[in-house]
Amino acid sequence: MTEYRLLSVIVPVYNERNTVGEIIRRMRLVDLPIDREIIVVDDGSSDGTDKILAALQDSTIRVVSHETNRGKGAAVRTGISLARGDVVLIQDADLEYDPQQWPRLLAPLLEGRAKVVYGSRYLGEREATTLLRWAGDRSLSVLTALLFNATLSDIETGYKLVDRQVLDSLDLTSDRFDFEPEITAKLLRRHYRIYEVPVTYAGRAGTDGRKFTWRDGLAAARTLIRLRLARPGGDRLR
């Protein structure tokens, strides 16, 4: 059984001046059985997020910046390239996901039951959402089941926790929201089992700054199909 020593938390941020300070406060308060490092990647924010991050950066928070907005996938990949941990977690900065759930996500890895854990919004307590958002998420899960013979309840979850050696084997290349279906498809193509645990979720609307749209959902579906049909060794996104 792998003995994990350091959790690297990657926080992609774009124009989140109203929430980034609070999410950092919450991340600092989480009690964990292993050490942690927190890497915040400011993806070219233009709303003053950079000034807030500059004031909050200290020995527990490392902040790096993209000069221009490149997308969530690019921000996550920048964070991964800098991470020192033997397990990596993605944490969004918009307060939809509560860092107090980290121990729940870590438990299957620390107990040797999994190397990949997704926090599912559809297995736990959650606020009611719109029919369109629910249908979009469920459609992507059904498509994943049909393409990869895997019954996942939530491939678009922002909580993905992955063993570092597994993560390094995936050759992730996506820059935007296609990161979510890319990582899932590549894990399943390589026959890694994804363990789901329930997490609470407080979704926000587009008027509150939500950035994922139905167009991103269609792009996610295309990514899943493309990667399922890609020949072995030819699953890089371009």
Residues 183-201 pLDDT 10s: 999 999 999 999 999 999 9
In eight-state DSSP terms, residue 212 is -
In eight-state DSSP terms, residue 100 is G
Q: List the single range of 41-55, 87-101, 128-142 with lowest mean pLDDT.
A: 128-142
- Residue 213 or residue 165, greater confidence: 165
| Residue 196, pLDDT score | 97
Q: Scanning the structure block, which residue is given the tokens 């899960």?
A: 141
Q: Is residue 236 part of a domain?
A: no
Q: Is residue 234 part of a domain?
A: no
> 130 lies in which domain range?
6-229
Q: Is residue 23 part of a domain?
A: yes
Which tens digit of pLDDT belongs to each residue from 99-141? Answer: 999 999 999 999 999 999 999 998 866 665 665 666 767 788 8
Q: Is residue 1 part of a domain?
A: no
- Between the alpha carbon of residue 106 and those of residues 17, 55, 82, 93, 188, the distances in Å are 28, 30, 21, 19, 20
| Residue 188, pLDDT score | 96
CATH number at residue 173: 3.90.550.10
Q: What is the mean pLDDT of the chain?
A: 89
- Between the alpha carbon of residue 124 and those of residues 36, 104, 162, 187, 198, the distances in Å are 25, 12, 20, 23, 4
pLDDT at 39 over 70: yes
pLDDT at 236 over 90: no
pLDDT band at 77 (very low <50, low <70, confident <90, very high): very high
Q: Is residue 237 part of a domain?
A: no
Q: What is the number of domains present in the chain?
A: 1
| Average confidence (pLDDT) over 79-96 | 97
| Residue 238, pLDDT score | 43
Query: How far apart are alpha carbons 3 and 165 in whole angstroms?
Result: 13
| Average confidence (pLDDT) over 22-35 | 97
| Average confidence (pLDDT) over 222-226 | 87
Query: How far apart are alpha carbons 73 and 182 in whole angstroms?
Result: 10
Query: How far apart are alpha carbons 20 and 112 in whole angstroms?
Result: 33
**β-strand partners of 61:** 38, 58
| Residue 218, pLDDT score | 82
| Residue 181, pLDDT score | 92
pLDDT at 211 over 70: no
126 in helix, strand or coil?
Answer: strand
Torsion angle of the four alpha carbons 187, 193, 148, 151, in this order, in degrees rounded to the nearest 10:
-130
User: Which residue, among 188, 182, 181, 168, has the nearest Cα to 217 in the 3D structure?
Assistant: 181
Query: How far apart are alpha carbons 147 and 162 in whole angstroms?
Result: 22
- Residue 24 or residue 135, greater confidence: 24
Q: How much of the chain, in percent, has pLDDT values that exceed 70? A: 87
Q: Is residue 238 part of a domain?
A: no
Q: Is residue 196 part of a domain?
A: yes
Question: Is-contact 2 112, C-beta < 8 A?
Answer: yes
pTM of the model: 0.88
Q: List the single range of 34-43, 146-155, 218-227, 229-238 with lowest mean pLDDT.
A: 229-238
